[in-house]
A and B are shown apart, each in its own frame.
Chain A
């Protein structure tokens, strides 16, 4: 009677940390005071990860804001995060864009590099290759503006490291579904 059963349990995946995935959630909320605190508090209170979070009003007249969150966890944990978000009173809809597929994700980065001579030329060459724009320049520095998927920005920043990267500011991800349907 005392043999603890260890079957291929259907919920062992919920306990184990094996299959961690990264998902992008798009959350449409009523733009009322405290709504961001509610969302962020939910993540910290329940021990979920936030890899990136952006928020801005998207329909001024209707007081709607879109919060885009990149999070990671097991598929079960991410499903749970979706339900937990959905149950917050000011939340209209929660869409898992990763599950829905066919989503566009973009981030904007401002990248400051400092250097002289060959490094300066190289910075501009790379900026050109990545289609980054120079938006500020001094004799010893550039600020470059770049939009793209997170990976592309990561790659760009990595390259700049070797040639005088000073600092980076990134917006986090804005995401939307492709095609005619709303997110």
Chain B
């Protein structure tokens, strides 16, 4: 039975029918009918943000911590353009979000009307797909299709641009159906013959390694469960990208830590020297591979991904398996168990011996201090004091993000929200708000930098208004530390505009928002302060004053190979490590 209703009502009804409980948004002229429809119901709760970018990051945090589609509502023109950074962030990290944008009425499109912009044109390159709905008859189909497209295959952001006259128009609403999409049918089951070949290669491998990424998280808890089983059964070492942290428990002895530019010595060397690489839901991004023509030169490579365009994009592989990680991993587990599959134990023992030697290098070590708080130490203490709680971590972008990835250890998927692909400063606070909304009882901490946090600091109001007790843990080094580090490495220590001038007093700032402000600069007082932060039932800004000059190591300098890392204890002459070619890279 189809009901007659307005376009605006259809949008809200579709949200309800799709099981959406929360939508992040900001009103304006071109979405007033939708706001009116929101007002007249109470199933879908609207979270008013303070900037549309914040709305999209909040929806990303919501999506990443729940596995659901995050939803956003913004007005036309500036509302839509403010959402662009969030959309691009979600595209690069493959996060399912739907952004509804208001548009000027159809008869004004193209006339440079007030707050008109070509939203589908602008967002075509930063969405998985987008729609401009000019006819009310198309709206129900588009609404449901958008959820399908955002969540299936490789997930991503979808924009639905709805002109105001379409919001007012009446039409027949139809409920979601199971009808097949006309064109979009991602392949979820891997080819069994290829999976058998993969298992065969794994059996023969002498120096194997699993290299997993955000795709495993996106494939849901079943993928992480199957991964754990497979890794344990095979006895192979495993490393993961920044995006993949938590899919495999960091406390497990087979875990080598994160790989890549700021990955561990053991993970990167094992990637370089392995004879079989099993890449799962990872995409051979430049932060991971380092110098491409010296990337793991002696290995056979298996790549499992739901997106066929990921395979052979940056690195040619020997065996590509297209499918959902969860399905393929479950097949692998089944095959490994059923056949007389056994790893080459003797070779594996030698491989682990080599790995243990790399591990003994203790590449994440740092010089402790009694006078100043070392940022790594701060993250370690935060980890120790929160690990037994129901904790979610988000981050901003910079050194603090890398220290968080290195020193905060994740046992479960969906606990770690960071802007990996786009590297968006200002991501962490709104993302934390989204996470907290989805998990009201949990402890949600944004590990932040003093520069990044100012990029979306206005969302403090959102946290206070909606009583979302997020904790902002600022590693305040008074520098755009990652920029400063690169200037030290590449530009002769000329710290051009990377000093965080004229910082606000973060304690007073918190108080100005009606939140709680704290400051700590003494290592001896750190634990007590962190405990106090955790126990505060309100949003907190914690200004953790840390060592200003600390650099983030280990590091693969740009243009170098995995086995050419710089470690913290060899940083005397880091200015000369990167050659002119490397300087060209970002």
Using a CB–CB distance below 8 Å, which chain A residues touch chain B? 1-2, 4-7, 9-15, 30, 33-34, 37-38, 41, 45, 76, 79-80, 83-84, 86-92
Contacts and interface: CB of A to CB of B under 8 A. Distances in A.
Given A2-B564, A4-B561, A84-B309, A9 B293 contact: yes
A67 to B, nearest CB: 14
Nearest to A80: B313
A11 B313 CA distance: 10
B245 to A, nearest CB: 26
A80 B316 contact: no
A78 B429 CA distance: 41
Nearest to A63: B182
Contact of B297 (A5, A14, A91): A5
Most buried by B among A5, A7, A9: A5
Contacts of B308: 83, 86-87
Given A30-B182, A38-B124, A91-B183, A76 B293 contact: no
B573 to A, nearest CB: 14
Across chains A and B, which 5 residue pairs bring their CB atoms closest together, nearest first? A83-B309, A89-B129, A11-B316, A5-B297, A83-B308
B124 A76 contact: no
Given A11-B292, A12-B293, A15-B292, A87 B309 contact: yes
Nearest to B309: A83
B563 interface: yes
A79 B316 CA distance: 12
B309 A11 contact: no
Interface of B: 120-121, 124-125, 128-130, 132, 149, 153-154, 182-184, 291-294, 297-298, 307-309, 311-316, 561, 563-564
Most buried by A among B121, B128, B132, B316: B316
Nearest to A86: B308
A91 B121 CA distance: 18
Contacts of A76: 312, 316
Given A9-B293, A87-B307, A80 B182 contact: no
A45 B298 CA distance: 33
Contacts of A83: 307-309, 311
Contacts of A9: 293, 297
A130 to B, nearest CB: 40
Nearest to B138: A32
Contacts of B120: 34
A4 B291 CA distance: 9
A10 B291 contact: no
Nearest to B296: A5
Contacts of B311: 83
A130 B293 CA distance: 50
Contacts of A38: 124
Given A83-B309, A86-B308, A89-B128, A11 B315 contact: yes
Most buried by A among B125, B154, B183, B294: B183
A92 B292 contact: no
Contact of A37 (B124, B129, B298): B124
A92 B183 contact: yes
Nearest to A29: B183
A144 B183 CA distance: 41
Contact of A30 (B132, B154, B183): B183
Given A9-B297, A30-B183, A83-B308, A37 B564 contact: no
A45 B125 CA distance: 8
Contacts of B313: 80
A1 B563 contact: yes
Nearest to B311: A83
Contacts of A45: 125
Contacts of A86: 308-309
A30 to B, nearest CB: 6
B96 to A, nearest CB: 14
Contact of A89 (B132, B149, B309, B316): B149
7 contacts: A5-B297, A11-B315, A14-B316, A80-B309, A80-B313, A83-B311, A89-B129
A83 to B, nearest CB: 4
A61 to B, nearest CB: 14
Contacts of B312: 14, 76, 79-80
Nearest to B121: A37
A91 B153 CA distance: 14
B439 to A, nearest CB: 32
B201 to A, nearest CB: 15
